[in-house]
Amino acid sequence: MKRIVVLVSGNGSNLQAIIDACKLKKINGTVAAVFSNKTEAFGLERAREAEIPAHALTASQFVDRAAFDRELMLEIDAYAPDLVVLAGYMRILSPEFVGHYAGRLINIHPSLLPKYPGLHTHRQVLENGDEVHGTSVHFVTEELDGGPVILQAEVPVFEGDDEEDITARVQNQEHAIYPLVVSWFIEGRLEMRENSAWLDGKELPPQGHAADE
C-alpha cells in the first residue's frame, strides 16, 4: 500500500480529511506519519487519535533552516513515503528539501493561484472587494506557492462576509479536493513533468483540472 507523510503546523483539518478518506478507501493508501514544527499543533493529536506516528521538530532545536530540514528529511525518509503532503505547514522549505521530494510533494493554498501567494489571502480578498475566492492544490517547487497547479475550487464572496465566513467556505472545499488529489497521485494518475502537472497522461492547464469537469 502506498505511504503518505503529512506535515502540519496547526489544527490539521485537511489532515483529518485525508485520514478519513484513507479509512473510507477513497484513498488507496495510508498515512504513515505526521510531522509538525509546533509541539502543540492539534494536527498531532488528530494523528495520535488515528494511531498514526506523530512527531514534532521545532526550529529552536537546530542552528539554521538547513539543519532543520536535513533532520526532517531523515525522519520522513524513515517512513519511505510515496507522497509528502503539506497541510497547513507554515515553514518555508529549503531548496534541498524541495528538491529531495520533487514530484512527490504537494501543498494546498487558500487562494486561486497565481493570485494571492503567501499569507493573509482571505484578508486581501475582502480588502480588494473580490467576488470570487477559492483554494488551489499544487506541486511544490522552490518558488513559494508557485508550483504547477493541479486542482482549484472556487467559492463565492458575499457582501458582509468576514474572514471567518470565507475561511469556513474555503476549508469546506479544501476538505473535498485535497483527498481527491492525493488519491490521483496514489493511483498513479498524477505526476509532475518539466514543471507542469499531468493527469491521466494529459498536461493540465495553468489553473489545473476544473473541479466541475
Residue numbers in the known binding site for (6R)-10-formyltetrahydrofolate are: 65, 90-93, 107
CB neighbour list of residue 148: distance below 8 Å, 6 or more residues apart: 138, 139, 141, 192, 195, 196, 197, 204, 208
Buried b (16+ CB within 10 A) or exposed e, 132-160: ebbbbbbbbbeeebebbbbbbbebebeee
Which residues are annotated binding-site positions?
A: 12-14, 65, 90-93, 107
* CA dist 17 → 69, 76, 84, 161 (Å): 26, 21, 15, 25
Given 100, 109, 122, 209, the catalytic residue: 109
Q: For residue 135, which amino acid is it?
A: T
Active-site residue, 138 included: no
Write out the catalytic residue numbers. Answer: 109
